[in-house]
């Protein structure tokens, strides 16, 4: 290991930042912070057709939101084509790359004819083609031998060279491919540790062969992180699963919770305390302890961790974060008075509107209404409570005591009695504690709502 390890997160801006890439970013960040190293950011935007600038913005925004600040300026591969072309020239000069004019249709047709394996068949290897329009440059993979590495997470991994196709390093349009740009950049930025997803395992022998051909020295250390899978044990995919980090943010997951949970995928703290500040995880995280088996991305657990974090922040912070979810709810009165009660209950901030939508008038929730008002006790409950509250000091304990006395008198349970009252006042059967709500609304408004409920029932 070099004195000051350097790792990088190298997303391709072909989609929004998803949980799998965020996991890679976090592991790199943790590794760098845990080892006094540097965490670089590189935007792998060589594929002009698939990249969109707003996707790069999203990736940077989400990394900042997660608190995964990178060191220095992000490197954009689109600014470095000259370096990649120079590397390609070195491969040509060294005889480890050759020009090829095969179309993919021709390659496929030949493979089909031969009943051979997929991939490039080496047709142009010895044709001695010169460079020219429409010609791609391919790397000449040795016919024999084995290429492998000692993966920090997976142990020894190796591939027979005979199983690796002669892959393209410069496309027929003159642009470098991912393989070439990736290797050149890691060398030029002195990356000591490549920490990336399992989907790159198969590309790593190509990486190593290219490095060798370019005369680069010892390769970086590799750590290939596990796949993230859904409940069906299928690899997370943007078509099937909810993977966009922006969605999680918009649904009211806190960045503290998100990075806390992501750190638990494939890794666990030695003392078993899972919900904890990231600073503590930095102290404990060891990349070699990451488990190579697929890690289950468990929504329930993520929600649990988020709920724990919602309870950890102080009220001012909670109000500041809740604000955008309860637009129109008065901050100084409603959120300050009732915020702590909501803070104890929600798992994600997007549940908040349901807790505050009765403030100006009862919510319109037919199912709650029907369920509560079909109870035989409904009319007596409303009559009784209107009567009991008429002259009550308007304070939650007193309101609660009178409510309990009424339950006893009507010989009914507190939960049955609560239904018609709650639905008249808030429109919903579940929510914040009833007596706090009544106290908040005040005598006149509460009694008006109870009377309106009773009138609607009659
Ligand atoms: N650009 C690659 C990706 O988004 C990452 C390559 C790497 O980390 O080496 O999957």
Question: What distance in Å separates the CA atoms of residue 45 and residue 40, rounded to the nearest whole number?
Answer: 16
At 193, list the tokens.
């540790």
Residue among 43, 200, 221 to mutate when testing ligand 1 (max atoms within 8 A of CB): 200
Question: What distance in Å separates the CA atoms of residue 70 and residue 201, rounded to the nearest whole number?
Answer: 25
pLDDT of residue 114: 86
Taking alpha carbons only, the member of 282, 257, 221 closest to residue 32 is: 282
- Is a pLDDT exceeding 70 seen at residue 135? yes
Confidence of residue 117 (pLDDT cuts 50, 70, 90): confident
What's the angle, vertex CA 199, arms to CA 247 and CA 163, rounded to 5?
160
Question: 238 catalytic, yes or no?
Answer: yes
Our answer on whether the CB atom of 177 is closer than 6 Å to any ligand 1 atom is no
Catalytic residue among 112, 234, 238, 374: 238
Give percent of the chain with pLDDT exceeding 90: 94
Nearest alpha carbon, ligand 1 atom 5: 10
Our answer on whether the CB atom of 396 is closer than 6 Å to any ligand 1 atom is no
**pTM: predicted TM-score of the whole model, two decimal places:** 0.93
Collapsing DSSP states into helix, strand and coil, what is residue 38?
strand
228-229 vs 221-225, strand pairing mode: unpaired
pLDDT of residue 437: 97
Give percent of the chain with pLDDT exceeding 70: 100
Q: Which atom of ligand 1 is nearest to the CA of 178?
A: 1
Report pLDDT digits (tens) over 8-46: 999 999 999 999 999 999 999 999 999 999 999 999 999
Q: What is the mean pLDDT of residues 435-445?
A: 97
Cβ burial, residue 442 (10 Å; 0-12/13-18/19+): exposed
Q: How far apart are the first and last CA of the chain?
A: 80
Report pLDDT digits (tens) over 332-356: 788 999 999 999 999 999 999 999 9
Taking alpha carbons only, the member of 240, 291, 238, 239 closest to residue 264 is: 291
CA of 329 to the centre of ligand 1 (A): 44
Q: How far, in whole angstroms, is CA 330 from its chain's centroid? A: 31
**For 194, phi and psi rounded to 5 degrees?**
-100, 110
- Asked if 319 and 331 touch (Cβ cutoff 8 Å), the reply is yes
pLDDT of residue 49: 81
At 268, list the tokens.
């666990």
CA of 301 to the centre of ligand 1 (A): 28
At 365, list the tokens.
């929730």
Residue 204: its H or E element: helix 204-213
Our answer on whether the CB atom of 200 is closer than 6 Å to any ligand 1 atom is yes
pLDDT of residue 290: 98
- Is a pLDDT exceeding 90 seen at residue 327? no
Confidence of residue 52 (pLDDT cuts 50, 70, 90): confident
- The residues pairing with 345 across neighbouring beta strands, listed in sequence order, are none
Confidence of residue 426 (pLDDT cuts 50, 70, 90): very high
- Is a pLDDT exceeding 50 seen at residue 277? yes
Report pLDDT digits (tens) over 386-395: 999 999 999 9
The number of beta carbons lying within 10 Å of the beta carbon of residue 315 is 13
- Is a pLDDT exceeding 50 seen at residue 1? no
Confidence of residue 151 (pLDDT cuts 50, 70, 90): very high
Our answer on whether the CB atom of 56 is closer than 6 Å to any ligand 1 atom is no
- Is a pLDDT exceeding 80 seen at residue 400? yes
Q: Which atom of ligand 1 is nearest to the CA of 11?
A: 4
């Amino acid at each position: 290991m070099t004195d000051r390890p350097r790792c990088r997160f190298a997303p391709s801006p072909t989609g929004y930042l998803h949980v799998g890439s965020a996991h890679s970013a976090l592991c790199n960040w943790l590794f760098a912070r845990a080892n006094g190293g540097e965490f670089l950011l590189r935007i792998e935007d060589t594929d002009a057709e698939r990249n969109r600038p707003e996707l790069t913005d999203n990736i940077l925004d989400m990394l900042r939101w997660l608190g995964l600040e990178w060191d220095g300026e992000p490197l954009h591969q689109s600014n470095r084509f000259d370096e990649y072309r120079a590397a390609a020239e070195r491969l040509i000069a060294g005889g480890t790359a050759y020009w090829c004019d095969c179309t993919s249709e021709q390659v496929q047709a030949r493979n089909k004819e031969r009943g051979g394996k997929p991939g490039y068949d080496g047709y142009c290897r010895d044709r001695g083609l010169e460079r020219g329009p429409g010609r791609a440059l391919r790397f000449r993979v040795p016919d024999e031998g084995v290429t492998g590495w000692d993966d920090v997470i997976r142990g020894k991994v190796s591939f027979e060279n005979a199983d690796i196709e002669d892959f393209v390093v410069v496309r027929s349009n003159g642009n470098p491919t991912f393989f070439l740009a990736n290797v050149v950049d890691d060398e030029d930025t002195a990356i000591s540790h490549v920490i990336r997803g399992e989907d790159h395992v198969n590309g790593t022998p190509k990486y190593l062969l290219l490095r060798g051909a370019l005369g680069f020295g010892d390769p970086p250390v590799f750590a290939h992180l596990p796949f993230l899978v859904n409940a069906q044990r299928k690899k997370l995919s943007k078509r099937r699963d909810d993977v966009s980090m922006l969605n999680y943010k918009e649904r009211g997951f806190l960045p503290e919770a998100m990075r806390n949970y992501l750190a638990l995928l494939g890794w666990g703290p030695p003392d078993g305390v899972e919900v904890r500040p990231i600073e503590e995880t930095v102290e404990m995280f060891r990349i070699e302890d990451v488990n190579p088996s697929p890690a289950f991305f468990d929504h329930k657990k993520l929600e649990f961790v988020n709920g724990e974090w919602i309870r950890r922040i102080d009220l001012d912070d909670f109000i500041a974060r809740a604000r955008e979810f309860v637009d129109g709810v008065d901050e100084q009165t409603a959120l300050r008075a009732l915020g702590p009660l909501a803070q104890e209950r929600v798992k994600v901030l997007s549940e908040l509107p349901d807790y505050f939508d009765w403030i100006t008038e009862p919510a319109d929730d037919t199912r709650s209404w029907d369920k509560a008002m079909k109870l035989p006790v409904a009319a007596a409950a409303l009559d009784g409570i209107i009567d009991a509250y008429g002259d009550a000091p308007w304070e939650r304990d007193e309101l609660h005591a009178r409510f309990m006395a009424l339950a006893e008198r009507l010989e009914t349970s507190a939960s049955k009695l609560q239904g018609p009252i709650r639905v008249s006042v808030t429109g919903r059967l579940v929510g914040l504690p009833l007596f706090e709500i009544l106290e908040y609304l005040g005598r006149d408004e509460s009694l008006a709502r109870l009377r309106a409920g009773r009138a609607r029932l009659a």
